[in-house]
Homo-oligomer: A and B are copies of this chain.
Amino acid sequence: MAARRRYDELARQLGALGAARRGLSRVLPSDCPPGAAAVLTALDRYGEMRMSKLAELLAVDMSVTSRHVAYAVERGWISRHPDPLDGRCRLLRLTGSGVKLLVQISDRHATALSERLSGWSDEDVGRLVELLARLRAAFDEPRPRAAARPAGPAPGSRTTRTTRTTRTPSRT
């Protein structure tokens, strides 16, 4: 548990992080927006997967993922295959062209970051990466919901909108 002041600072720093993110986006190939790059990176790291899984990894709604994927498919960076186990699903796979693009992206990221973080030690970067990963994980989980019943939630109590990012709940 941290002090109130710390949380304020963290919120501020997170909000102000846009500049760094944009700075990094600027080094991407001009036909590869950050969203597409994220798709490629996830497929490279975790291998072939379905749309729903990808949306979960990227922590954005599936409709968003669908658009990024469609874009990458148009460019020939990834391919879509029917899932033999379920006709509704599509399996996504990096193409050779996609792998080549990823190498280029990695090069540019490394160049940009090594310029920007020239004064940082390897340990500094490592610590930041680790903390960011933990932060991300903390926000990936469904809202913790300030405990009340230590046991599971009362069966059927869905008062709190458990923001699921893979699918927008339709209120039909």
Q: Enumerate chain A interface residues (CB-CB to B < 8 A).
A: 1-4, 6-21, 23-24, 26, 34, 37-38, 41, 45, 58-60, 106, 109-110, 113-122, 124-129, 131-136, 138-140, 143-146, 163, 165
Closest partner residue, chain B, to A108 (CB atom): B11
The 8 Å CB contact of A136, one of B20, B122, B125, B139, is B20
Which residues of chain B are within 8 angstroms of A18 by Cβ–Cβ distance? 59-60
| Interchain CB contact under 8 A, A135 and B2 | no
Q: Is the CB of A14 within 8 A of B13?
A: no
Please classify the interface of chain A as helix (H, G, I), strand (E, B), loop, or mixed, using the class held by over half of its residues.
Answer: helix
CB-nearest residue of chain B relative to A115? B144
Evaluate contact between A135 and B38: CB separation under 8 angstroms.
no
Closest B residue to A122 using CB positions: B2
Q: Return the chain B residue nearest A128 by Cβ.
A: B131
Give chain B residues whose Cβ lies under 8 Å from the Cβ of A7.
Answer: 109-110, 113-114, 125
B116 touches A138 (CB 8 A): yes
Whole-angstrom distance between the Cβ of A58 and the nearest chain B Cβ? 7
Whether A140 contacts B19 by the Cβ 8 Å rule is yes
Asked whether A144 lies within 8 Å of B116 as measured between CB atoms, the reply is: yes
A20/B139 in contact, CB under 8 A: yes
Contacts of A163 in B (CB 8 A): 26
What are 28 A-B interface contacts by the 8 Å CB criterion? A2-B113, A2-B122, A3-B122, A4-B106, A6-B126, A6-B129, A7-B125, A8-B106, A8-B110, A10-B113, A10-B128, A12-B41, A13-B132, A13-B133, A14-B132, A15-B24, A17-B136, A19-B59, A19-B136, A19-B140, A116-B139, A118-B144, A124-B134, A127-B127, A128-B131, A128-B132, A128-B135, A131-B131
